[in-house]
Amino acid sequence: MNKTIRDVAQRAGVAVSTVSLVINRKGRVSKETEQKVLKAIEELNYHPQRVARGLVTKRSGNLGFILSSDHFSQAEPFYTKIFLGTEFEARSHDYYILLTTIEKQTGSFAIPRFLLERNVDGVILAGTVPRKIIEYVGSRNLPLVLVDYSLSRGNFSAVLIDNVGGISQATQHLIDLGHRRIAFIGGDMSHPSMKERCQGFRQTMEENRLPVNAQSICCDQPLTGPAEGFAAANRLLAAKTKFTALVGANDAMAVGALRACRDQKLRIPEDIAITGFDDVETAITARPTLTTVQVPKEEMGALAVRHLVNIINGKATMGTKMIVPVKLVCRESTSCRVRETSE
């Protein structure tokens, strides 16, 4: 037979209302009384029903996590790691994470059911999602945190990556190795991270007084997976673009570029050195292993949850921008120092 809150109160020798205060972490309860209640809960193996708790606290105990379906894949597991970070952190705050994916399109789309049913206390939006979703969340007055995405308008909190600093580290690393002709491949420039990484590449090249032209930058891919990296690298190679190094906007595209170069019988890094961004598992399993910019993906998810919970509890306000640091990880794909010709 399932134990009830009355059983806990009787075992601890306190009122039912006191047990409720301890469970819901509300009101002033002495440390001694709290320990009695917690001991009784453990001895009786009591699990308060969330529905009942929600009637008292007016909260669901759930956080929503929304991202576009093209971001949630094995080929590009960046956002999967962010999601795992939210899941682990949510447990320490006694929250469940409800995940849903939506199609990234400008036409009609289904509003996630947990939003329609008001079954979440706050929402995390990762990557690019339709603006109408953001507006809908705002219309419900739900606390909202964006991850790896930002908007120029609106009072939104966001957990962001130091994209410019990270891509600058990767580009400068290649320059320090002796490379002077460096190409860049990226994806959808409407995504702030893609745009910032391209800007960071241009900026670093210009600071080193190195040439940057349209022929050495390929950023018109709709997605950012290995297939798009393969296509972008092949386009640069087919155009006879002269480069001895290539910066990928993320690891998935860089791995695609590795395959394109191998197909052309080019040696990595002797003929072309390649860097990525994100440091997902494929960077380590690639052959050769990929030099990349390491992003603390799980920590980004955890940071988003901590901030969201603080907003829900009135300990933080919307509008905070948090930028996580990144660092370059050097591996085999750039290990060979080159000697430039005078061409």
Q: What is the CATH number of domain 5-57?
A: 1.10.260.40
| Confidence bin at 41 (pLDDT 50/70/90) | confident
Judged against a pLDDT cut of 50, whether residue 74 lies above it is answered with yes
Per-residue pLDDT at 28:
78
Per-residue pLDDT at 77:
80
Per-residue pLDDT at 339:
45
Judged against a pLDDT cut of 50, whether residue 55 lies above it is answered with no
Q: How far apart are CA 65 and CA 174, in angstroms?
A: 37
Mean per-residue pLDDT, 214-223 = 81
Per-residue pLDDT at 107:
52
Mean per-residue pLDDT, 223-231 = 91
Predicted confidence (pLDDT) per residue in 289-328, tens digit: 999 999 999 999 999 999 999 999 999 998 999 999 999 9
CATH class of 164-295+329-334: alpha beta
Per-residue pLDDT at 267:
95
Q: What is the CATH number of domain 62-161+297-325?
A: 3.40.50.2300
Judged against a pLDDT cut of 60, whether residue 141 lies above it is answered with yes
- Percentage of residues in the chain with pLDDT exceeding 90? 55
Check: CB of residue 276 under 8 Å from CB of residue 255: yes
Tokens of 289: 């292993």
Per-residue pLDDT at 135:
87
β-pairing, 157-161 with 122-126?
Answer: unpaired
- Lowest-confidence segment of 25-29, 115-119, 215-219 by average pLDDT: 25-29
Per-residue pLDDT at 58:
65
- Lowest-confidence segment of 19-23, 66-70, 247-251, 320-324 by average pLDDT: 19-23
Task: Indicate the burial class of 150 (C-beta count within 10 angstroms; 0-12, 13-18, 19 or more).
Answer: middle
Judged against a pLDDT cut of 90, whether residue 155 lies above it is answered with no
Judged against a pLDDT cut of 80, whether residue 221 lies above it is answered with no
Check: CB of residue 63 under 8 Å from CB of residue 98: yes
Task: Indicate the burial class of 267 (C-beta count within 10 angstroms; 0-12, 13-18, 19 or more).
Answer: exposed
Per-residue pLDDT at 311:
95
Does 164-295+329-334 match 62-161+297-325 at the fold level? Answer: yes
Per-residue pLDDT at 330:
96
β-pairing, 217-218 with 182-185?
Answer: parallel
Predicted confidence (pLDDT) per residue in 2-27, tens digit: 778 888 888 889 988 888 777 766 66
- Lowest-confidence segment of 100-104, 289-293, 318-322, 337-341 by average pLDDT: 337-341
Query: Which residues pair with residue 144 across a beta bridge?
Result: 123
Per-residue pLDDT at 75:
56
- Lowest-confidence segment of 72-76, 117-121, 290-294 by average pLDDT: 72-76
Domain ranges of the chain: 5-57, 62-161+297-325, 164-295+329-334
Per-residue pLDDT at 341:
40
Q: How far apart are CA 11 and CA 70, in angstroms?
A: 52
Per-residue pLDDT at 146:
96
| Confidence bin at 342 (pLDDT 50/70/90) | very low
Average pLDDT of the chain is 87
Among the listed residues 246, 149, 223, the one whose alpha carbon sits nearest the alpha carbon of residue 193: 149
Check: CB of residue 218 under 8 Å from CB of residue 183: yes
Q: Which residue has the tokens 């040696």?
A: 267
Amino acid type, 312: I
Amino acid type, 8: V
